[in-house]
Structure 1
Amino acid sequence: MKLPNLDSETIDRIIEMAWEDRTPMEAIEAQFGLLEKQVIALMRQQMKESSFRMWRERVTKRKTKHLKKREFIAGRFKSKNQKS
């Protein structure tokens, strides 16, 4: 999958956001323009295989990683580093 050229600081922030339980994939897309498939490809590229598998299992089970699956809207935490 074709990924845009990203600096190491941006890659680190995307990985951090992808690991966070309450940061939805849509927030990563809004801030960095990466689709969920691109985030998965980036994570696969940047992580050890065992860490990637652990992350995928974790993300797959989380309702909070996708806005459409969330049961809550109000009270959502928003990092100061996150764009609208």
Structure 2
Amino acid sequence: MNYLDPEIQDRIIQMAWEDRTPFEAIEEQFGLKEKDVIAFMRTHMKRKSFEMWRKRMKGRTTKHLKLRETETTRFKCTLQRSITHNKISKR
């Protein structure tokens, strides 16, 4: 898995850390099954970071589509709705 572009590697790590991104989405996008994602994370992270990630992911129902509650769909931040234009002043 070291043959992947660094940007793709970063995206896989980011998706794996996200609570609401299921392993099935990673598999669909990158072809990595859950066991492959675990192996990928093990080789691309420091030992302590990997252990912290595994502890966090273990038993998390949002990481598996079959275990999710039916009302859990896509995550959308509540602030996302209220932002309609760029509020940064231009000087």
RMSD: 1.7
Give 1:31's aligned residue: 29
Matches within 5 A, 1:1-84: 3=1, 5-73=3-71, 75-77=73-75
Aligned length: 76
Following superposition, which runs of at least 4 residues in structure 1 exceed 6 angstroms of deviation? none
Segments of structure 1 that go 5 or more residues without pairing to the other structure are: 79-84
Deviations 1:6-53 (A, max 9, x none): 110000000000000000000000000111111101100010111101
Higher relative contact order (CA 8 A, sep 6+): 1
TM-score by length of 1: 0.82
Which letter maps to 1:26?
E
Segments of structure 2 that go 5 or more residues without pairing to the other structure are: 77-91
Larger Rg: 2
Amino-acid identity (%): 64
Q: Quickly say closer, same or farther: Cα 1:14–1:21, change in 2 above 3 A.
A: same
SS at match of 1:51: helix
